[in-house]
Amino acid sequence: MKQMIKVIAAAALTIAAPLASGAQTGKMGINDPQRAAVYDALKGKKVVFVPVALGFDLSDGWYAGMKSQLEPLGISVDVRDPNWSADAGARAIASLIAEKPDVIVAHNPDVQTYAKLLRKAEKRGIHVVQINMKSAYATDAFIGADYVDIGRRAAQAVVERCGAGTSGKVAIVQGVVTAAASAYQLRGISDVLSKHPEIKIVSNQAADWDATKARAITETTLQQNPDLCGIIGFWDGMDVGTGAAVKQAGKADSVFVVTSGGGGKAGCDNLRQGVFDLDISYDVPGQARDLSNAIESILQSGFKPGAYKYTLYTPLQMLTRDNLEKYRTFGACWTVDDLKSR
Amino acid sequence: MKSGHDRQNGTRAPSPARRLRLTQEGIIVTITVVMFGAFAVFLPGFLSVGNLLTLLRSVSVLGILSVGMGVVVISRGIDLSMVATLAMGTAVAVVLAQPNPWFPQGLPFWQGALLGLLFVLIVTSATGLIIAYADLPAVFATLAMGYVIYGLGRSLFLSGEANYLPDDAGWVVYLGRGLFHGIPVSILCFIAVLVITEIILRKTAFGLFVYAMGDNPVAARSAGVPVRPITVVIYVFAGLVAYFAGLLTAGAVNNINTRIFNSTLIYDVLMVVVVGGIGLSGGKGSMKNVVLGTLLIGTLLNGMIIMNVSYIQQNLIKGVILLAAILADTIFNPRDEQTSQQGDI
Tell me the pLDDT band of B8, cut-offs 50, 70 and 90.
very low
Please say which residue of A260, A281, A302 terminates a domain.
A281
Contacts of B328 (CB under 8 A, 6+ apart): B24, B27
CB-based contact, A250 to chain B, within 8 Å? no
Q: Chain A: nearest CA to B316, how far in angstroms?
A: 14
Are A229 and A156 contained in the same domain?
yes
Domain co-membership, A252 together with A298: no
> Which residues in chain B are contacts of A246 at CB distance < 8 A?
none
Instruction: Report the domain count for chain A.
Output: 2
Nearest CA distance, A300 vs chain B (angstrom):
34
**Strand partners of residue A280:** A260, A318
pLDDT for res B343: 45
Residues with Cβ within 8 Å of A255's Cβ and at least 6 positions away in sequence, in order, are A222, A228, A229, A230, A231, A246
B2 or B251: which carries more pLDDT confidence? B251
Set of chain A residues whose Cβ sits within 8 Å of the Cβ of B301: 216
ipTM for the predicted complex comes to: 0.73
Nearest residue on chain A to B260, judged by CA atoms?
Answer: A210
pLDDT digits (tens, 9 = 90+) for B234-247: 999 999 999 999 99
Nearest CB to A237; choose among B154, B162, B306: B162
| CATH number of domain containing A162 | 3.40.50.2300
Chain B residues inside the 8 Å CB shell of A244 = 177, 252-254
Domain check: are A273 and A289 in the same one?
no
What pLDDT score does A8 carry?
65
The three-state secondary structure class of B274 is helix
pLDDT, residue B168, reads: 87
Tell me whether A88 touches chain B (CB under 8 Å).
Answer: no
Would residue B99 count as lying in a domain?
Answer: yes
Helices (H), A194-283: 211-224, 236-248, 265-272
Q: Do A212 and B154 lie within an 8 Å CB cutoff?
A: no
> Using CB atoms, which residue from B252, B262, B263 is nearest to A215?
B252
Both A214 and A266 in one domain: the answer is yes
Distances, alpha carbon B273 to alpha carbons B28, B280, B289, in Å = 12, 9, 7
Q: Please indicate if any CB of chain B lies within 8 Å of the CB of A211.
A: yes
Closest alpha carbon within chain A to B248? A212
Q: Is B262 in contact with A266 (Cβ distance < 8 A)?
A: no
pLDDT of B342 reads 46
Instruction: Measure Cα distances from B173 to A39, B185, B248 in Å.
Output: 53, 10, 8
Contact at CB, B253 and A212, closer than 8 angstroms? yes
Q: Find, in chain B, the residue whose alpha carbon is nearest to that of A203.
A: B308
Q: In the predicted model, is pLDDT for residue B9 greater than 90?
A: no
Give B159's contacts in chain A (Cβ within 8 Å).
55, 336
Mean pLDDT of chain B: 86
Instruction: For chain A, give the number of residues.
Output: 342
Across chain B, the runs of DSSP E, i.e. the strands, are: 162-164, 179-180, 183-184, 255-257
Q: Is B241 helix (H, G, I), strand (E, B) or coil?
A: helix
Domain range enclosing B216: 22-331
Q: Which of A84, A219, A220 sits opposite B262 (nearest CB)?
A: A84
Q: Would you state the pLDDT for residue B337?
A: 59
Q: Do A74 and A163 belong to one domain?
A: no
Name the minimum distance, in Å, from the CA of A234 to any CA of chain B. 15
pLDDT over threshold 90, residue B275:
no
User: Residues A122, A41: one domain?
Assistant: yes
Question: Can you give the pLDDT at residue B10?
Answer: 44
Tell me which chain B residues have a C-beta less than 8 angstroms from the C-beta of A211: 253, 255, 257
Give me the pLDDT at residue B6, please.
45
Residue A283: closest CA among A49, A65, A50, A51: A65
Measured CA distances, B191 to A114, A317, B57, B94, B194 (Å): 46, 46, 11, 25, 5
Asked if residue B253 has pLDDT above 70, the reply is yes
Cβ distance B160 to B150 under 8 Å?
Answer: no
Count how many Cα atoms sit within 13 Å of the Cα of residue B195 in the half-sphere of its side chain. Answer: 6
Task: Looking at the structure, tell me whether residues A182 and A221 fall in a common domain.
Answer: yes
Of B57, B61, B160, the CB nearest to A56: B160
Examine the domain organization and report whether A139 and A192 are in the same domain.
no
List pLDDT tens digits, range B66-120.
999 999 999 999 999 999 999 999 999 999 998 888 888 888 999 999 999 999 9
Mean pLDDT: which of A84-88, B22-26, B187-191 is highest?
B187-191
A334: DSSP letter: B
Residues of A in contact with B187 (CB under 8 A): none
Q: A288 and A214 in one domain?
A: no
Percent of chain B with pLDDT over 90: 50
> Are A168 and A116 part of one and the same domain?
no
Chain B residues in contact with A57 by the CB 8 A cut-off are 160, 162
Q: Closest Cα to residue A154, out of A244, A327, A277, A313?
A: A277
Report the residue of B58, B65, B264, B307 to disrupt the A interface, i.e. the one with the largest count of A CBs within 10 Å.
B58
All residues of chain A having their beta carbon less than 8 Å from the beta carbon of residue B162 are 56-57, 237, 240, 266
Other CB atoms within 10 A of residue A6 CB = 10
Residue A12 lies in a domain: no
A276 and A300 together in one domain: no
**Tally of domains in chain B:** 1
In tens digits, chain A (342 residues) has pLDDT values of 566 666 666 655 555 555 555 555 667 888 888 889 999 999 999 999 999 999 888 999 999 999 999 999 999 999 999 988 899 999 999 999 999 999 999 999 988 999 999 999 999 999 999 999 999 999 999 999 999 999 999 999 999 999 888 999 999 999 988 888 899 999 999 999 999 999 999 999 999 888 889 999 999 999 889 999 999 999 999 999 999 999 888 898 999 999 999 999 999 999 999 999 999 999 999 999 999 999 999 999 989 999 899 999 999 999 999 999 999 998 899 998 888 887
Question: Is the CB of residue A238 less than 8 Å from the CB of residue A275?
Answer: no
Answer whether residue B61 is part of any domain.
yes
A153 CB near a chain B CB, below 8 Å?
no
Average pLDDT over residues B190-219: 94
Q: What is the pLDDT of residues A179-228, one digit of tens each?
A: 888 999 999 999 999 999 999 999 999 998 888 899 999 999 998 899 99
Q: Do A266 and B162 touch (CB under 8 A)?
A: yes
A21 at B interface, C-beta within 8 A: no
Q: Distance (Å) from the C-alpha of residue A203 to the closest C-alpha of chain B? A: 6
CATH number at residue B270: 1.10.3470
User: Do A113 and A167 share a structural domain?
Assistant: no
φ and ψ at residue A31, rounded to 5 degrees = -80, 150
Which is more confidently placed, B196 or B300? B196
Quick one: pLDDT at residue B17?
Answer: 47
Tell me which H or E stretch contains A259. Answer: strand A256-261
Cβ atoms of residues A299 and A279 within 8 Å: no
The reply to whether residue B311 touches residue A83, judged by beta carbons under 8 angstroms, is no
A212 touches chain B (CB under 8 A): yes
B50 min Cα distance to partner chain A (Å): 7
In a domain, A296, yes or no: yes
Query: Alpha-carbon distance B338 to B334, whole Å?
Result: 12
- Which residues does chain A have within 8 Å of residue B312's beta carbon, measured at their own beta carbons? 177
Residues B194-198, mean pLDDT to the nearest whole number: 96
Provide the residue range defining the domain that includes A110. Answer: 35-145+284-315
